[in-house]
Structure 1
Amino acid sequence: MDFASTAVALSLALVLAVVAVRHRARRLHDKNKRYHPVAGTVVHQLINFPRLHHYMTELAGKYNTYRMLDLFKGAVYTADPANVEYVLKTNFTNYGKGSYMYNILSDGLGDGIFAVDGQKWRHQRKVTSTEFSTKVVRDFSSAVFKTNAVKLAGIIYEAATSCSNQAIEIQDLFMKSTLDSIIKILLGIELDSMSGKDEEGNRFSHAFESGQEATLYRLIDMFWKIKRFLNIGKEAELKKNIKEVDQFLYKLINSKIETIQNPEDDNIYLKKRDFVSRRLEMKDTDPKYLRDMVLCVTVAGQDTTASSLSWFVYMMCKHLHIQEKIAQEVREIINLKDDRSVDELAASLDQEALNNMPYLHATLSETIRLYPSVPMNARMCFSDDTWPDGFSVKKGDMVVYQPYAMGRMKSLWGDDAEEFRPERWLDKNGLFQDESPYKFIAFSAGPRICLGKEHAYTQMKIISAVLLGSYIFKLADEKKIVNYKTMVSLPIDGGLYVKASPRLWHAKP
């Protein structure tokens, strides 16, 4: 964040903090109701912004559910599974995005599924659910994941076999690989940003990431609307980034519309495989509608998956024995020999093979437990309510549930909650056993549960199996401290540099 706008925001916030606390304290005084304890103010969140999820985890460990005060709204943060289930399922209709969240999100996401409620949400939910549950899309997606996993392995091979065993910034590669995959699935277009030649794709990816950071900052910056009006600070950056995102997406969508309207061949099957082509055939031809849907699915399928894979590789480098165990599981399930190529490895990863890799699935779940791709998520309370814990919330309160904090709470996961232990996900027979979605809340739950959960696991398992089956990964600098960057998602700040050495004699694709 720039110094000038930060200084102004903090100065004003500090002056208003006492007023805010007094105002909220009076508002919460009701002899007939109990309200959650106040743990701090938005000023504390601003001060702790670089380590925001650590700070909120500390508060969750102390209070479980608590309030944070600011001048304009109440905010209740919970790490209680019973409260989370009540908000996301039991009393679902009383909690949604509302006008407050819509105003924060719509500049970037438009009327996409993550920004809206009501009929708009139901329509897009139905459309997206129907599209991504079809066998055509599932098979097409798996083929795309395999193709891009092999491309990724090829790039790693070039670095691993160079004279200097070049360090690889693998998070950047994951970002490009997942972007290439989601654009292919949505639009049927080969972006090939992994090659580094697509400047438009690179600018889009950067603008997309920067826009997420600015959007999250709006949640704790009470002056963001003023900054937007003045076009200063993060709001100026966000405006520029939204323009870059729009130029990129509209160009692709308009290109796809032109291709569908003026086909060069009659291969109907191929045209139906990508998401936008199928929507165009259903006469959904409004570019703005398609842009909003494509961006929201990209939000769900690119940055989140890439950050999860990055933390997964980081954990594999910190726990080499687990990395070896996964590599052995992959090799045994597909009967991989040292003289087989990466292409053959990827081709062997059908759904049956992936389903027979419980330890890989457990390790990915353990990674996501500790490093959820969306560390916090919010809803607005539409009318006064009382939660299962006996405390009340008010109409207009923002309600935040915290996957990052919940994944680290001893009360939920035991005394070893902060340890990386994939075995906690396996039963006595070594089979994967899932947890309640209201405890393991990384994919949300209830009617708004993530539609792409199975697609995300499939993509992560294919990429993980190809890479760990082909290479041994170690950190380029074992002493470097790895931390997250505070955004809507949870990327590794500054990227993740690793070195790879081939496992396979024919490791080159």
Structure 2
Amino acid sequence: MFEASLLFYFLLPFLFIFFKLLLTNSDENSQPKSYPFIGNYLSIYANSHRLTQWTSDAIHNSPSFTFVVRRPFGQKRVLTGNPANVQHILKTKFSTYQKGDIFRSTLFDLLGDGIFNVDGDEWKFQRQLSSHEFNTKSLRHFVEHVVDDELNKRLIPILTTAAANDTVLDLQDILQRFALDNICRIAFGYDPAYLTPSLPKAKFAVAFEDAVRISSERFRTITPLFWKFKRFLNIGSEKRLKEAVAEIRRFTTKILNEKKQELTTEPVDLLSRFLNSGHLDENLVTDIVISFILAGRDTTSAALTWFFWLLYKNPAIENEVVKEVKEKSDSPIYDEVKDMVYTHASLCESMRLYPPVPVDSKLANADDVLPDGTVVKKGMMVSYHPYAMGRMESIWGGNWTEFQPERWLEKDDTAEKMKFRARDPYVYPVFQAGPRICLGKDMAFLQMKRVVAGVLRQFMVVPAVDDGGEPVFVAALTSKMKGGFPVKIKERKDD
């Protein structure tokens, strides 16, 4: 198998030249060309800088909204935006579509046996214990103490200084720091204090960013043998991944050791709950910590980054959000954010266009047939595509390109106001759906709405892009803006 890989790399330049003309002249509205031995590799290679958008286009161009990617050496992967298929995968045949060995081995160096990388009893145990941290009491404490404290003592002062000095901030970086402090404080009782005026370039944050990026790049290699060979030789990106993971584990071990010293019989956070469960294996608990940092840091920060961009592009919607924020300003904090209906709808609409997790994958552990007739063989990767689904005319109508929070609202017959109208989670699987639906969904919305209220009540966020260009969407395990989101902060003048 290794010799075949070497031969393929030797022949690749010639294959590329031979097929380049065919690829260039192909109809952009048709499905990507597939060739013997190399499958869709030429299209994959040509679109390596925009794979999420390319796979989204392929799904849209399929009558069933399902596309089978053919990779070199006969590998196949199913990509779908068909809601019936999504429900089949995430609910109806939940036991058939698991994380599986491919996903697990690719991310194991980073996530280990954490909740996002395991199946079966291991997953059930971690999910059951974690669920206790997402009750109403915990959510109220989170938004009233952790988020509000981080907002008023760290985020707002930094924005105030930036506004006074007319300086440029990378809002994507700021929001990642904010989210990281939040998740560490609420889940582990530990404050890394990354959102401070000096904006320190901490080793852990750099290592985490690198580890997530390199781990996600493993999925894009022609064959896993390639990155496994680099890991064996400890060279290139795999060498950096090893160094980054070591730094991450030093950080999480520090959190773990401090928590052990202050452990009481009554759990006060997620980490103490796991430690009190009797599962004191340090590697497992470290894996759990890393998984929750990934979830808490990258998803809400990604959603908010794109949200502030879309608000700038749509000033009328920003005015409506600000109006709602000001109307709720006298309410208690928890009630304020809980009742921000228009802002909630705006966040949902933003994540429709820019989902924090644009593609999610499962592995079929048995032969199956999807509702649209797509044949799935045991061992095939099957991915559902929230990014593509958020751009489907068949779901959202002819105005799907428009940023319209109103599509999430309807008239409340019992009051003279609008109420939020949730969508079927299999049509809008931004938070997954079925048994593995995101435990932190409500927490994420509370955090995001509190940030939106705190920032927009006082400031305007203005992108600082010289050429007037739009941000470039890039996807690792979560979506990002390429190169960050440079902005200037302006004091909001009262009307």
**Does the pair score TM above 0.5?**
yes
1:11 paired with 2:9, answer yes
Where does residue 494 of structure 1 map in the other structure? Answer: 483
Structure 2 portions without partners, runs of 5+ = 1-5, 17-30, 413-417
d(CA) in 2 for partners of 1:122 and 1:285? 17
SS at match of 1:174: helix
Q: Contact 1:438–1:445 (CA<8 Å) still a contact in 2?
A: yes
More deviation in 420-429 or 371-380? 420-429
- Mapped partners of 1:13, 1:378: distance in 2: 30
TM-score in terms of structure 1 length:
0.85
Q: Aligned partners of 1:327, 1:473: CA distance in 2, in Å?
A: 12
Offset of residue 462 of structure 1: 0.5
* Of 337, 340, 360, the match for 2:343: 360
- Paired amino acid for 1:485: V
> 1:282 deviation in Å?
3.6
The answer as to 2:110 corresponding to 1:112 is no
| Maintained 8 Å contact 1:104/1:219 | yes
Tell me the CA shift for residue 334 of structure 1: 2.4
In structure 1, the residue matched to 2:177 is 176
Quick one: distance in 1 between partners of 2:272 and 2:162?
37
Q: In the TM superposition, what are the counterparts of 1:300-339 in structure 2 within 5 Å? A: 300-335=295-330
- In the alignment, what sits opposite 2:190? 189
| CA displacement at 1:38 relative to structure 2 | 7.8
Cα deviation for residue 417 of structure 1 reads 1.2
**1:15 Cα deviation after fit:** 7.8
- Are residues 356 and 152 of structure 1, via their aligned partners in 2, closer, same or farther at CA, if it must alter by over 3 Å? same
From 458, 469, 488, the counterpart of 1:480: 469
One-letter code aligned to 2:487: V
SS of the residue 2:401 aligns to: coil
Q: Deviations over 1:35-61 (max 9, x none)?
A: x99866245324322211111111111
Q: What's the counterpart of residue 124 of structure 1?
A: 126
C-alpha deviation, 1:349, in angstroms:
4.9
State the match for 1:49 in structure 2. Answer: 48
Q: 1:485 aligns to what SS in structure 2?
A: strand
Change (3 A) 1:365 1:189: same
RMSD: 2.5
Letter in 2 for 1:321: A
For 1:441, give the aligned amino acid: P
Pairwise mapping of residues 269-288 of structure 1 onto structure 2 (< 5 A)? 272-288=267-283
- In structure 1, C-alpha distance between the alignment counterparts of 2:402 and 2:240, rounded to whole Å: 38
CA–CA distance in 2 between the matches of 1:287 and 1:121? 17
Structure-2 residue corresponding to 1:234: 237
Report Cα offsets for 1:71-121 as digits up to 9, x if no partner: 263210001000010010001111101112111111110001111111111
The amino acid of 1:490's aligned partner reads: S
**Match in the other structure for 1:95:** 97
SS in 1 for 2:439: coil
What are the equivalent positions in structure 2 for 1:197-276 lying under 5 Å apart?
202-221=202-221, 222=223, 223-260=226-263, 272-276=267-271
Distance verdict in 2 for CA 1:16–1:252, change over 3 Å: farther
Residue matched to 1:69: 70
Distance 1:384 1:216, change over 3 A: same
Rounded to whole Å, the distance in 2 between the matches of 1:198 and 1:260 is 31
Q: Is 1:350 the equivalent of 2:349?
A: no
Whether 1:503 aligns to 2:481 is no
Which of 423, 427, 446 aligns to 1:439? It is 427
Say which SS state the counterpart of residue 474 (structure 1) adopts: strand
Please give the secondary structure, in 2, of the residue aligned with 1:204.
Answer: helix
Using the alignment, how far apart are the partners of 1:166 and 1:256 within structure 2?
Answer: 39
Amino acid at match of 1:474: V
Identity of aligned residues (%): 36
Say if 2:367 and 2:377, in contact at 8 Å, map to a contact too: yes
CA distance in 1, matches of 2:246, 2:55: 32
Q: Is the 8 A contact 1:371 1:490 kept in 2?
A: yes
Deviations 1:338-366 (A, max 9, x none): xxxxxxxxxx4533222321110011001
Q: Is the contact between residue 379 and residue 399 of structure 1 (CA under 8 Å) also seen in structure 2?
A: yes
Q: How much has 1:274 moved relative to structure 2?
A: 2.4
Are residues 490 and 315 of structure 1, via their aligned partners in 2, closer, same or farther at CA, if it must alter by over 3 Å? same
Decide whether the 8 Å contact of 1:42 with 1:220 is kept in 2.
no
Question: Which has the larger displacement, 375-384 or 352-361?
Answer: 352-361
**Is the Cα contact below 8 Å between 2:460 and 2:489 reproduced in 1?**
yes
TM-score by length of 2: 0.87
Deviation at 1:13, TM superposition (A): 8.2
3-state secondary structure, aligned to 1:171: helix
Flag the 1:68–1:280 CA change in 2: closer, same or farther, 3 A: same
Q: Is the alpha carbon distance of 1:412 and 1:230 closer, same or farther for their aligned partners in structure 2, counting shifts above 3 Å?
A: same
**Greater shift in the superposed pair: 201-210 or 73-82:** 201-210
Q: Secondary structure at the match of 1:114?
A: helix
Shift of 1:329: 0.6
Aligned equivalents of 1:293 and 1:9: distance in 2? 41
- Distance of aligned partners of 1:306 and 1:188 in 2 relative to their CA distance in 1, 3 Å threshold: same
**Does 2:284 correspond to 1:295?**
no
Cα shift at 1:380: 0.3
**2:311–2:317: 8 Å Cα contact kept in structure 1?**
yes
